[in-house]
Amino acid sequence: MSLTTPLSQKFGLRMPILAGGLMWLADAEYVAACAHAGIMGFVTAASFPDPADLRAEIAKAHRLCGGKPFGVNVSMLPKLVPGEQTADIFKLIAQTGVDVVETSGRNPEEYMAQLKAQGTFVIHKVPSVRFAMKAQSIGVDMVAIVGAECGGHPGLDLIGTMVNNALALERLDIPFVIGGGIGHGAQIAAAIAMGASGVVMGTRLLVAEELNAHHGYKQALVDASERDTVLTMQSVRNTIRTLKNDTTTLVAQMEAENPEIGFEGLRPHVAGVIGRKAYETGDVSKGMLSAGHALGLTDRIEPMADIVTRLEMQADVAALRLRGASDAHS
């Protein structure tokens, strides 16, 4: 089975893998490591709230990537709020020579005319196929569908990755990639066999040497298993899957004792700046640290290129198994 897909063809990738935006962690060094390993990463715009800083980070990414492709993740709040600068961010991205964005958070319909006029390739990330169908209807170029197993926000439907993949094959006409618990090359081969153009990865890549995070944080992910994540914040309709720690235990207890607590009641414990400290200090006991079921496959800290090489080898073995099964039935 060839791993050449619409995704790998469009961007000249060695492997059809999107390294999704990671809050505070997806910077120029991260996307450059992805690019030189033959996959495509995304600088997270929200990590650089000052437009001048974002512009500088994109320029740095261009230098480090050396002409290899990368994109910018633009995560929008679920509802438009006064002062939101999303349109300006999209304009900045185009001005800096980046022609692919990964949007998420809410329907990007209000910006599609601008994005198309700029010649931007739009990949919209959603938690289930029903939202992917809406994204297709407004003209996005590709959808990324992340299942319930993903780290971060799996949505409210909590549909599993394999089910999302099969539904997307039946219901979508545009190319799609699948994510949620993806951390092995055999899963990549399976996704392609099920009609996907590739996969989205986050958790599996958090143990890359090039990621600007403390060694202790990465080692904690290596030591964790697929059973060490937890879902919280369902009470505020913002379900999140994170590494199980003191904060998640407290938040779960607060939600159980007061289902009407609201986001403001949880904010002192779930604010992103708390989790950011874990990346800086290696102390993973506090903060909402996004992590998915692929924790079971984060078995060592190693260079990004080595991670991708292993994934490629695993995918090749899986493809041989498929060929063998086909030959056995011919």
Asked if pLDDT for residue 287 goes beyond 80, the answer is yes
Query: What is the DSSP pairing of strand 40-44 with strand 71-75?
Result: parallel
Place of tokens 């780290």: 151
Q: Which helix (H) or strand (E) holds 177?
A: strand 176-179
Both tokens of 308, joined, read: 């991708």
Residue pLDDT, tens place only, 158-195 = 999 999 999 999 999 999 999 999 999 999 999 999 99
Instruction: Report d(CA 36, CA 131) in Å as an integer.
Output: 32
Residue pLDDT, tens place only, 218-259 = 999 999 999 999 999 999 999 999 999 999 999 999 999 999
Residue pLDDT, tens place only, 73-86 = 999 876 665 667 89
Confidence of residue 1 (pLDDT cuts 50, 70, 90): very low
Asked if pLDDT for residue 117 goes beyond 50, the answer is yes
DSSP bridge pairs for 152: 241
Instruction: Report d(CA 271, CA 158) in Å as an integer.
Output: 23
Q: What was the pLDDT predicted at 83?
A: 65
Residue pLDDT, tens place only, 21-55 = 788 899 999 999 999 999 999 999 999 999 999 99
Asked if pLDDT for residue 325 goes beyond 80, the answer is no
Predicted TM-score (pTM) of the model is: 0.94
Half-sphere exposure of 192 (CA within 13 A, CB side): 22
Which domains does the chain possess? 6-210+298-323 (3.20.20.70), 229-290 (no CATH)
Contact 70, 42 (CB under 8 A): yes
| Number of CB atoms found within 10 A of residue 191's CB | 26
Q: What was the pLDDT predicted at 328?
A: 63
- In order of 57, 58, 73, 93, 268, the CA distances from 48 in angstroms are 8, 10, 11, 13, 22
Q: What was the pLDDT predicted at 67?
A: 95
